[in-house]
Structure 1
Amino acid sequence: MQRSDFEGRPGDDLGRGAPGVAARGRGPNRPGGFSQVDDVGPSAGWGAARSVTRVIARTGEPVRGPLAITKMNHENGGFDCPGCAWPDDRKGLHLDICENGIKHVTWEMTRKKTGREFFAAHTVTELLDWPDYALEEQGRLIEPMAYDEATDMYVPISWPDAFALVGQTLRGLDSPDQAAFYTSGRLNNEATFLYQLWVREFGTNNLPDCSNMCHEASGRALQAALGTGKGTCDINDWDAADLLIVMGVNAASNAPRMLTTLAKAHRRGAQIIHINPLIEAAARRTIVPHEFAAMATFRSTPTGSRNVQVVVGGDLALLRGVAKAILERAEKDPAVLDVDFIERHTSGFTSYRDLVRAADWSELVRQSGVSESEIREVAACYMAVDRTIISWCLGVTQQDHGVDTVHEILNLLLLRGNIGREGAGPSPVRGHSNVQGNRTCGIDHRPPSDFLDALDEVCGISAPREHGLDTIGTIKAMLDERVKVFVAMGGNFVLAAPDTDATSAALRNTELTVQVSTKLNRSHLVHGRKALILPCLGRTEKDTQATGEQGVSVEDAMSEVHLSYGMRKPPSEMLRSECSIVAGMAQATLPDSKTPWVWYVEDYDRIRDTMARVLPGFEDFNRRVREARGFRITQPAREREFHTESGRAEFHSSELPDVMPPQGMLVLSTMRSHDQWNTTVYSDDDRYRGVKNLRTLLFMNRKDMDERGLAEFDLIDITSHARDGSTRSVYGYRVIAYGISPGSVAGYMPELNILCGLDDYSRQSDQPLMKHQLVTVTRSPGR
């Protein structure tokens, strides 16, 4: 049984724990003690304003922070929020902002700096004992650093020497496939294109990325069913929909600007159904921050009309029940189906209809955790309107059967022709600011052949055709010493990935790790025998190259592409842009390359001109991206042009999975707290779930607590049970009674990522099962 690094009583001072990741304990601004607050109030509003004020004060930016806020997501010389991928307001709203976006920006704008003096005062072994909060609190990385094994410290290194180390190590490998190149969702489109060009010219498709852990299931289902890996909706569709079904999403934390859209939809009379094991604050009410009258009078607006609580993993059974109710109704009233659309534009309907008709209502109820009457009410809402959008996030995709569940979403939309028309369609919620742009611009370990053909023709390379390694495959390959070099463009890989101990061991098994980052994090301390920290510009900062200031582009969750310009002076002259860093590593790796790396970096328009020749939908890129609010990439499926083998939208027939845990077990879903953005934790509070000063916790249904003889705030141990028979445990967590479906429990990532074994991944999507872990919960002995 593995012992978690996150063992310990909440609020205790930090102890070392096992090798890997240090525990989170009391750090700066972290008083001891914890509590739960019953009245969480509406999402956003004054609670958000107070939280933002605290973060701005803590980062020491009382002037520059608020000024930066006025530039966020603004078409005239502004910069794109580096947080979520929710689309910008299409009417040029000047305060198209949210609490987490402001925190993210001010966190990046801190005056604190982490340079050679800091690293000279601390060994890596010492820093491993620091809480993650304290590491990031040290401020911006300001110069390249290299690990010195003799002193166990990072020491300064020049940019040319850093690039030379990368190039020399990569050229010394027996095969390009002995290196892996990771991408987080913050990398801009131009740097993304250069990054994948370097990697493929080097000779590998080992391009794991954060999508492998988040929305891989969405892309695979959408591609198979519609011929596109993306949703078909834009923000105007959200403003026109009669019904919004939001699944596995906590908008207040994951896509806060979505709250404004939900509030507007409710005011105009649209129905909004939230489907989630937990009833979140974002599914109830919000105060929209830029509506000053509402803020002044504390007037909130509903953001939902119905909450449906499924068990963890029960979404597919619920959706199939809705489809069954619709098909039953169609036997008497065929008009509830869009028969013309089904006959002209789809394939596989008959098989799907027969499968749904054969489904047993009692099993659908058992597997969803939702009564038949409530399922029928959802179906009635769907049949009563003309235009429906179904939106989903990781609560759907990080499941063993995530691909099948997304297929079932699409099946439901196809039944009533809710694809390819205004106010209707599938609309996945992407988490990172440019994760969709990364995939569009070539970050794909399974690249399509037409993309590689275009890349070869335009760029004059011979890209490999063999599929590369994804995230799970990369970790396993590092453990087996089949991958010896790991390069990461942003992110905090060791905390974002599953099985924290195994991921740590994998990284330490390499010859070289390279981290391109803005702030110090755990992944800089869990490294290979050689290691580099390469500091880059943030999106808020001016990027000045040989031809002047440069803008970079990003793609949001709804395929809109626009330019982003930094507005402040970088904290150090030693910082380089992501494009410059990629080009420097590429030149050192490929000394005989005919790719004009320096020429590209001198003027990013040159990169975009090349992208326009390679990427479908990017034609005339430089002109179109400079139009007001940019442009939308062409979506053939939106025009009912389906690039599938049949040329039609495909109904998918899958067997109903058994998601019920064995006797005595529960199903764990990991999630963020509200005061957190991915692996960055701003405080130990979770305002919208009523928790203060506590992260080592487990939310449980009161019935499940009673069955185990547990009272509120009892100390518990949590053990996960992997497919391979192994177990992993964390100790001394607190149990909190919460409105979650019976049989389901929830707790925070990254602390609980350690419970997800490397073999616990979906065979459909290859995603780790972060939201579908079998666990047992017991009272901590002697506590």
Structure 2
Amino acid sequence: MAEQPTEPSGTRASGPRRSSVGVHGIAESARYSLAEMGPRRSLLTLLSVNHVDGFDCPSCAWGEPDPEHRKAAEFCENGVKAIAWEATRKRVDTTFFAEHSVAELRERDGHWLESQGRLAQPMHLAPGAAHYTPITWDDAFELTAARLRDLNDPNRAVFYTSGRTSNEAAFLYQLLARRFGTNNLPDCSNMCHESSGAALTETLGAGKGLISYDDITEHADLIIIVGQNPGTSHPRMLTALEQAKRRGARIIAANPLPEAGFGRFHNPQTARGLIGPGTRLADRHLPVRVNGDLALFAGLNRALIDREDARPGSVLDHDFIDRYCDGFEAAVAAWRALAWSRIETLSGLSRRRIEAVADEVIAADRVVVCWAMGLTQHRNAVATLREIVDFLLLRGNIGRPGTGPAPIRGHSNVQGDRTMGIWERMPDAFLDRLRDEFGFDPPRAHGLDTVDSIRAMRDGEVDVFIGLGGNFASATPDTQVTEAALANCALTVHIATKLNRSHLCHGTEALLLPCLGRTERDRQASGEQFVTVEDTMAMVHASHGRLAPGSPHLRSEVAIVAGLGRALFGDDLGWRAMRDDYAVIRRHIEHVVPGFHAFEERVRQPGGFMLPRAPRDSRTFPTDSGKAHFTVNPPTAAEVPEGHLLLTTVRSHDQFNTTVYGFDDRYRGISGGRRVVFLNQEDLRELHLHDGDLVDLVSVNPDGERRAPGFRAVRYPTPRGCAAAYYPEANTLVALDATAEISNTPATKSIVIRVEPAGRS
């Protein structure tokens, strides 16, 4: 059932850019917006996005400046595309499904599917049917409830969530699953920043980042950005980095590929940015090997210890370490025993280069480390992030302005979903408060995360899959296994705005339930509603849709989840009241979720409010010992046999997560296609390949090989032995069992591959 590749004969490559945004960004934003929304609709939406009385951008989770400092155009190119993608005037209605069978639609690529427009009404695929056909909302709710009631064990249902879901919908969704009797609540966090949460909770007692927007723009002396590409994945971050640069902050970028976002930034909101030379953001680029980041930070920590040994008291913050930390002596002993030759081999960086970064660290009073999926999706991801915490602890770079760890989240409310209880392993204290608030005892046994849900579906242990947003089949690893696992279910239900690949990898029976988007007005019985989201800086703020709903048949995510609750349980928990007035949900959240006291009042204030994070707020560490933990993390790397390479997955500049807006990656010089593999020139030579050759990628796994055919080889400045290809096209190469230790996150950034001339098999 996997997507058939198209030979990339029209794909062109011109090499990486050294600058970002500028006039090209404005032109591309305008072109896409006008094509999808038209002039009036574009103006109405774009002037409302990320403003106090407007809606939160449905793209990334980057934070906002204070309301008084926001520009009229508070958005980026990727945000414009995400908004236009949702607010398009195109519709997928009953006529579309009558004309296109499911089998025919399976032959289309994901870009084509999502480009057809918004889902307009509920659709049902009956057992054995070739086409989706219309169904009423009441019948859809009753069908789902009936299939759930038929289960002999509530754990034979899985409730998946996308990170774009609002706080209110997420809270209601976890309530529905737990009222049903299961903690099977996998979400996209399991696939992205689960490693961050695991490492930060273990070492600091708080699973979130510890910085604010002002820590970047106003306070940090040194910002280290590692395993992250802000120019493509979080473009509004570039403005904040530019502000930091102008007040004198230094920026170091560590990434296997050179990224345009770290070159010259042409800010489209300033004359200097548009017609001037722009601002060079990164002062130093470290071309670290794929999965060499643990060795890099172990080397930095070794260098800091060496300097301290040479001049006691001159480098480390011993007062902070003695008062707030444990495990220091064991960590120091491990660093002293670490050979520089091993650090250099694993990181791909010379000792001289790493020592030069250590000089900058010592010169900086306040340091922030930012990262994204380039660090979290490796076998040793949790160890790498623990090593970064060690790095910050050595000089007291936690709990002061301009310091701290900063996992930069992708989806706009993925952090809020977890705060609301979307997790298969919520602590008993949360479940106790849920019990006291609603009068039922939630299940205590841990549920299934994303990877374990796929395994359970594959093995016939799950009958009903419900997805609240997202594109599960495309976002997850081992594509063919995942698609077959979904097809193994008796019923698949997808609550979505647009048609995507997952809707065609259906169970015996399937439902598509179309929901309102973030851009649209949400009117319920008590009047017009707003929802809330939490950004990557733990700021909670309101989002008010502004457009008329795309179809009279659309319902909000809250209304859909509440409708399922009423169909299953009657009105036992007040599902109707929560559907009719979202303030009722927020009052429940106040009582269940820490930090949400006076929720309604505080979120109505301009800019919202920041959630407490004890390590940042008071240097209090809610760990098992009450102190921050130094840990020992011996540098490791994936074993790569001779003649093989280590592949990492990346996003194109023309996509957001699994949503592909087009086939150009302007910043990497790719146009007309996505099935490309970026290779070092020397690796090409040793493999007897040339730039432009058509190749197959073959991953090597303990349970066998996986082949992704028809990729264009592109000569690119990657480190020797390392390669890169676009996600999700390369997901088929990732074995389901290739996951990070502790977090169980798919290791999509460490794929051992062979590169073969196309068609050899």
CA contact (8 A) 2:2 2:483 kept: no
In the alignment, is residue 605 of structure 1 matched against residue 603 of structure 2? no
**Corresponding position of 2:26:** 49
In the TM superposition, 1:744-783 aligns within 5 A as 744-781=722-759
Letter in 1 for 2:7: R
In the TM superposition, 1:194-593 aligns within 5 A as 194-239=172-217, 240-291=219-270, 293-333=271-311, 334-591=313-570
Which of 51, 54, 73 is the equivalent residue of 1:74? 51
**Deviation for aligned residue 1:739:** 1.1
**Deviation for aligned residue 1:4:** 6.7
SS in 2 for 1:774: strand
**Deviation for aligned residue 1:491:** 0.5
**Deviation for aligned residue 1:703:** 1.0
Which of 738, 758, 761 is the equivalent residue of 2:716? 738
In the alignment, is residue 7 of structure 1 matched against residue 30 of structure 2? no
SS in 1 for 2:75: coil
- d(CA) in 2 for partners of 1:353 and 1:296? 49
- d(CA) in 2 for partners of 1:4 and 1:689? 27
SS in 1 for 2:160: strand
The one-character-per-residue Cα deviations of 1:573-620 (angstroms, maximum 9, x if unpaired) are: 1100000000011111223x5200000111111100110011100011
**Deviation for aligned residue 1:335:** 2.3
SS in 1 for 2:310: coil
Q: What is the number of residues matched between the two proteins?
A: 756
**Deviation for aligned residue 1:60:** 4.2
**Corresponding position of 1:18:** none
Letter in 1 for 2:633: S
TM-score by length of 2: 0.98
**Corresponding position of 1:715:** 694
CA contact (8 A) 1:4 1:728 kept: no
**Deviation for aligned residue 1:132:** 1.5
**Deviation for aligned residue 1:660:** 4.7
In the alignment, is residue 37 of structure 1 matched against residue 17 of structure 2? no
Flag as ranges the 4+ runs of structure 1 deviating above 6 A. Answer: none
The one-character-per-residue Cα deviations of 1:427-460 (angstroms, maximum 9, x if unpaired) are: 1100000000000000001111111111111121
**Corresponding position of 2:70:** 92
**Corresponding position of 2:660:** 681
- d(CA) in 2 for partners of 1:374 and 1:45? 32
- d(CA) in 2 for partners of 1:210 and 1:446? 15
SS in 2 for 1:336: coil
The one-character-per-residue Cα deviations of 1:625-667 (angstroms, maximum 9, x if unpaired) are: 0111000001111120110011011111122213351211110
**Deviation for aligned residue 1:332:** 2.3
Which of 670, 680, 683 is the equivalent residue of 1:691? 670
**Deviation for aligned residue 1:7:** 3.4
Which of 640, 645, 654 is the equivalent residue of 2:624? 645
- d(CA) in 2 for partners of 1:424 and 1:294? 29
Letter in 2 for 1:550: Q
- d(CA) in 2 for partners of 1:559 and 1:684? 34
Letter in 2 for 1:453: D
**Identity %, equivalent residues:** 46
Letter in 2 for 1:709: H
- d(CA) in 1 for partners of 2:307 and 2:525? 66
CA contact (8 A) 1:146 1:157 kept: yes
**Deviation for aligned residue 1:150:** 4.5
- d(CA) in 1 for partners of 2:661 and 2:467? 23
In the TM superposition, 1:626-645 aligns within 5 A as 626-638=604-616, 639-645=618-624
- d(CA) in 1 for partners of 2:14 and 2:39? 29
Letter in 1 for 2:325: T
SS in 1 for 2:456: helix
Q: Which moved more, 1:66-75 or 1:417-426?
A: 66-75
**Deviation for aligned residue 1:477:** 0.4
CA contact (8 A) 1:215 1:397 kept: yes
When the two chains are superposed, the root-mean-square deviation of aligned CA atoms in Å is 1.3
- d(CA) in 2 for partners of 1:283 and 1:738? 17
Letter in 1 for 2:193: H
SS in 2 for 1:153: coil
- d(CA) in 2 for partners of 1:286 and 1:205? 45
- d(CA) in 2 for partners of 1:498 and 1:280? 25
**Deviation for aligned residue 1:41:** 4.8
**Deviation for aligned residue 1:179:** 0.3
- Report the CA distance shift for 1:206/1:58 in structure 2 as closer, same or farther (over 3 A): same
Which of 99, 103, 106 is the equivalent residue of 1:121? 99
The one-character-per-residue Cα deviations of 1:285-329 (angstroms, maximum 9, x if unpaired) are: 2111222x1244143111110000111110000100000010000
- d(CA) in 1 for partners of 2:80 and 2:414? 19
In the alignment, is residue 619 of structure 1 matched against residue 597 of structure 2? yes
Letter in 1 for 2:736: L
SS in 2 for 1:245: strand
Which of 99, 109, 128 is the equivalent residue of 1:131? 109
Letter in 1 for 2:97: F
**Deviation for aligned residue 1:732:** 2.1
Letter in 2 for 1:53: A
Letter in 2 for 1:589: L
- d(CA) in 2 for partners of 1:444 and 1:60? 36
**Deviation for aligned residue 1:67:** 2.7
Q: Which moved more, 1:141-150 or 1:678-687?
A: 141-150
- d(CA) in 1 for partners of 2:72 and 2:116? 32
- Report the CA distance shift for 1:651/1:432 in structure 2 as closer, same or farther (over 3 A): same
- d(CA) in 2 for partners of 1:599 and 1:8? 50
- d(CA) in 2 for partners of 1:140 and 1:261? 34
SS in 1 for 2:465: strand
SS in 1 for 2:39: coil
SS in 2 for 1:331: helix
CA contact (8 A) 1:6 1:730 kept: no
TM-score by length of 1: 0.95
- d(CA) in 2 for partners of 1:659 and 1:529? 39
- Report the CA distance shift for 1:296/1:732 in structure 2 as closer, same or farther (over 3 A): closer
The one-character-per-residue Cα deviations of 1:85-134 (angstroms, maximum 9, x if unpaired) are: 00012133332210000111011111111111111111101111112222
**Corresponding position of 2:85:** 107
- d(CA) in 2 for partners of 1:235 and 1:668? 33
- d(CA) in 1 for partners of 2:414 and 2:325? 30
SS in 1 for 2:634: coil
**Corresponding position of 1:28:** none
**Deviation for aligned residue 1:65:** 1.1
Letter in 1 for 2:183: N
Q: Which moved more, 1:655-664 or 1:562-571?
A: 655-664
CA contact (8 A) 2:381 2:741 kept: no
SS in 1 for 2:553: coil
CA contact (8 A) 1:266 1:304 kept: no
- d(CA) in 2 for partners of 1:732 and 1:512? 34
CA contact (8 A) 1:400 1:772 kept: yes
